[in-house]
Structure 1
Amino acid sequence: ISLETYRTERLDDLALLIQKTFRCYRIRKKFVAMTTAQILIAKFWRKYLKSRKVRKIRELKLMRKSVNAIQRCYIQWKRLLYLRQLTTEVTRLTSPVSKSWPHVPSYLQETNSLLKILFHRWRCRQYRRCLDNHPSDRLRLNEKSTASEIFKGEKESYERSITHPFLGDYIRLRQNSQWRRMDSSPIVFADLINKVARSSGKLIPTVLVTTTTAILLLDPRTLSIKYKIHPNSLKQITMSTLNDDFCVFQIDHSDEEVAMETMPRNSCICSNNLNSGDKVDYDGNNTGGDLIFHTCHLIEMVTKIVLVCGNFCRNFGNHSLNNCHGEKLGAEMLRVVFSNE
């Protein structure tokens, strides 16, 4: 091979090497530029995504804060509205036994229960203060409470007597001048009732007067005293559990001084042949026994007689409610049965 040929081949190889190196440099430079650009783009893209996420988190926090603020203001407004409504409505709920109460939202249940307890205690306190200022109201409350203890769940006619006030003197005996001359004891109960006669079983009108010291049976026309029963001589009061108005007074005749007493000879039914301490019926029978009464104010009459007897005997609680019991009418025992039939 000649030198010229070798030189030509060598120049071709060198030219190819130069081209290869240049192309490699150019492509590498382009690759490095693309890599740098890709890294920069990825960097800014991640930064953008992160900033957008942070912005969303901030917006969510702001939204929650706003919601909480709005909700808090709304609840405070509802509470204020509830308290204003409660203030106007509870002014009518003065009775301690009233169970009515305004409607309350679900989120105020705990507050409502506490306010209800506090208001109930407050009105009970106010009611007690009123009772302290008005002793007559305290007495009526005591009578109603005693009636509830005796008859609630035991006597069918008790329910209709709850709303009926205990008046005591239904015949205005306190204004009667003849009564004021005859007895100065305070009247606890006075009413025109019916007494069952021992001999015939008929209903005889009579006036029953309960004072603080005795139980009196008066003639309805002349107001003359027919019977006088000391509270210590009243052994038991018997009634039925049904919706009737009968009661039986069982009298203890063992002590003649405190049992039923006849009045002096000027009494219209007393005979000159009666001895002191004899028990006299309206029929004129000289016999002792239990007394059967019929009255439309049975609950009030029995309650007040129990209270009067309780003043003489602290442990007095001799009252029974059953539909079958034996009663003494004169010298005989009678079996009394109450039935709905």
Structure 2
Amino acid sequence: MVMRAVYMHQNAFDDWEATARIVVEAAARAGEQHGEAEALETLGKAAFQTLRLDEAEEHHRASLALRRRIGDRRGMAVSVNALGLLGLRRRRLDEARAHFGDGVEIFRELGDRRWTALVRSNLAETLCELGQGAEARTLIEQVLADFRQLGDRACEGNALCLLSWAQRTSDEPEAAARSIRAALSIADDENNQVWQGHWGTEAARVERALGNPEEALRLCQKSAAVQQKLGDASREAAALDGAGEAYQSLGRFEEAAELHRRAAQTYRRLGSRWQLGRAQAHLADALTSLGDHEAARAARGEALHLLGSFDDPRAIALTEKVARCLSDDGT
């Protein structure tokens, strides 16, 4: 699978997937189970990147079964990590946490420092999603030291972005600002637009927390433009939704509503229920400020329906907030 990294870098998912299918069939005919498992993993990654999540799970579970059969412990850990990423993407956070914990243990037993740190980073992201910023921060500080010693700039930057998230949600916006600026410095040094676009959205959230909506808006607009160029619709929508929040902080509610609508349209097309629910909640806030209470109630009603299907602490808190606003609307 030499071409996998090339296809991933260029987002050439059709070629990437076609190549993997050929390898799966050839390896199965030859009885080469290691190669078949790796090709199935590649198919799982291709399906994940194009948001065909059920298909991705099928491929990763098939790869895991093969690796268990042949006693490939390292391969098993890679597959378990992939299943954790699926749980994270679907917001099945307890499931994701369990998979990442298993992966960490296997890689640690194998003495693979880089992979242990990588899966710990994924575990830390899950903890951030669960609202457990303090626990996440402790874990991130450990992996950050590992990535620096390993000289892995990409993972170092991603860990700094996660550290910013944990600090921001722990009411430490100044510390978060230092962390995300360090991450963006890495992105700038490497002239890497993917990193600049992704980490720029977190930088915008930090600026909003610091009370700087103008700078937050600039960063979101820059991130959205980068993501549009890269063809990453989900991350572009996240930047647009963030820009809408910045517009709301500036009292520019019509512009905010338009961006929240655009983000919601993308999330609806992608089937991203959690993100769509949040965008609709943000839209409802903007519409309320515009005095369009009927449309606000409709947006909140959809948000409540979407968010109610998640049971983690952050989701429950947001669902309760939306329900209170809906009640205040007189419904």
| TM tier, smaller | under 0.3
The structure with the largest helix share of the pair is: 2
Given the two structures, how large is their TM-score scaled by the length of structure 2?
A: 0.21
The structure with the largest strand share of the pair is: 1
Asked which structure has the greater RCO (Cα within 8 Å, sep 6+), the reply is 1
Larger radius of gyration: 1
